[in-house]
Amino acid sequence: MFFSVLTAALLCVLTVKTRVENVHAQEKLFLSSMGLSSPPKPSAHSPVPSLLWKMFESSDRRDSCVVSEYGVRGNIVRFIQDQGRLISAPTGRCFYCVRKHLFFNMSALEDVEQLSFAQLEIKFKQDLSHLGRHVFGMALYRVLKTTLKGVTHESSRKLLQSQTLGYDALGSVRFNLTELAESWRQPAKNYGMQLELQASHNLLDDDAFDAKGVRAGVPIPEFSASLVAVSLNPHQCRSRRKRSASYYPPVTPSNVCKPRRLYIDFKDVGWQDWIIAPQGYLANYCHGECPFPLSESLNGTNHAILQTLVHSFDPKGTPQPCCVPIKLSPISMLYYDNNDNVVLRHYEDMIVDECGCR
């Protein structure tokens, strides 16, 4: 049912048999418009960041080609997971420091997309208030090349930013990485980053040394890193129109061309595993006759008016025009992509608002 609605125009001429045969082709076509080669099979249903939920929930009140949270153009927001590994956990030599490789696979972005904003977020799992008067330094490096021994040589990395964090820091730190993330879209240039957290020396109190003269301190809090990437697919950003308030076609019996009520449940097409929200939506479809004489309310083209006229003389030789969607509106969807990233995306032409004879 779902795919047949997406191709309502074709339906008018397709038989039921070919419709069934085309389901797979239709599914592929729809997925490819989402930049997906196959239905994603998320291995871990990573939690949806609250910011994305908020953006999803307010998406029907906004311009579908602007992400107002960041003040940039875009119709796709991805939460890209960090795939880098820990380089060194606290050891004897550096008891209060952590070094981690950060890697964000940018290949989910299609070539046609324009990256408009990327932001790194380092989120601490504990409240930093436990630090008391202690502070720690945080340094972020861009990795320029890989070396056999790993990236510790200063020549293989470049400092991007360093700062000191104390108990008054918020639960997370953010960096604008738009330029760097753009360069990472070429996989050969993506060596990722290195993050170093280190208990700050000079700011520790004297009593921070224990009896053996070893610097005591507070453990570095656990953290996770993610990259928010906002991009614009200009081909999917035709309308500046707002999403229509859920349109409920009246259920008056009539066999004339008009929108009919159709609720699409993503479970029915087996997509419930990777589509997070909505679980379904009121998509509607167009159905009905385009009889002679074509009245104005049927929104016929001049061509359709002539076609009904010819049909009235020669019903066997010339079919009636088709009842097809002439005005559609977008919806927003939250889903997992093939790399387990959470994606918020606006889709054009998902809800039938008006039908016409064509």
Ligand X SMILES: *[C@@H]1O[C@H](CO)[C@@H](O)[C@H](O)[C@H]1NC(C)=O
Residues of the shown chain interacting with ligand X in the complex, contacts defined by CB under 6 A:
105, 107-108, 176, 178-179, 257-259, 297-299, 338-339, 354-356
Query: ω into residue 315 within 30 of 0, thus cis?
Result: no
CB of 353 to ligand X, least distance (A): 8
**Closest to 55 measured CA to CA, from 47, 63, 44:** 63
Q: What is the 3-state secondary structure (H, E, C) of 119-160?
A: EEEEEECCCHHHHCCCCEEEEEEEECCCCCCCCCCHHHEEEE
For 78, the token pair is 């991805």
Report how far residue 36's alpha carbon sits from residue 48's, in angstroms, rounded to the nearest whole number: 20
**Are 5 and 283 spatial neighbours (Cβ–Cβ below 8 Å)?**
yes
CB of 119 to ligand X, least distance (A): 8
Q: Which residue's CB is nearer to ligand X, number 76 or number 199?
A: 76
Residue closer to ligand X, measured from CB, 22 or 178: 178
Handedness of CA 147, 149, 155, 159 (dihedral sign): positive
CB of 149 to ligand X, least distance (A): 20
CB closer to ligand X out of 200 and 338: 338
Residue 233 is encoded by which pair of tokens?
A: 């697919």
Nearer to ligand X, 16 or 188 (CB): 188
Residue 170 beta carbon to ligand X: minimum distance, rounded to whole angstroms: 17
Q: State the nearest-atom distance from the C-beta of 317 to ligand X, in Å.
A: 26
Buried residues in 256-276 as b, exposed as e (16+ CB within 10 A)? ebbbbebebebeebebeebbb
Is the CB of 180 or the CB of 333 nearer to ligand X?
180
* Least distance between ligand X and beta carbon 343 (Å): 12
Nearer to ligand X, 194 or 299 (CB): 299
Nearer to ligand X, 41 or 267 (CB): 41
E-state strands within the chain: 66-67, 72-73, 76-81, 86-88, 97-102, 114-124, 136-143, 157-165, 172-176, 193-199, 223-232, 258-260, 263-265, 275-277, 280-282, 285-287, 323-336, 342-357
Instruction: Please report how many Cα atoms fall inside a 13 Å half-sphere around the Cα of residue 215, on the Cβ side.
Output: 20
**Minimum CB–partner distance for residue 135 and ligand X (Å):** 25
The answer to whether the peptide bond before residue 42 is cis (omega within 30 degrees of 0) is no
Closest CB to ligand X among 220 and 225?
Answer: 225
The tokens describing 261, both together, are 């009520």
What is the closest distance, in whole angstroms, from the C-beta atom of residue 12 to ligand X in the complex?
Answer: 15
Work out whether strand 66-67 and strand 136-143 pair parallel, antiparallel, or are unpaired. unpaired
Using CA atoms, how far apart are residues 247 and 211, in angstroms rounded to an integer? 73
Q: Which is nearer to ligand X, 111 or 179 (CB)?
A: 179
Nearest distance in Å: CB 107, ligand X: 4
> In this structure, are residues 267 and 280 in contact, taking their beta carbons and an 8 Å threshold?
yes
The CA distance from 114 to 108, in Å, is 12
Least distance CB 104 / ligand X (angstroms): 10
Q: Which is nearer to ligand X, 217 or 259 (CB)?
A: 259
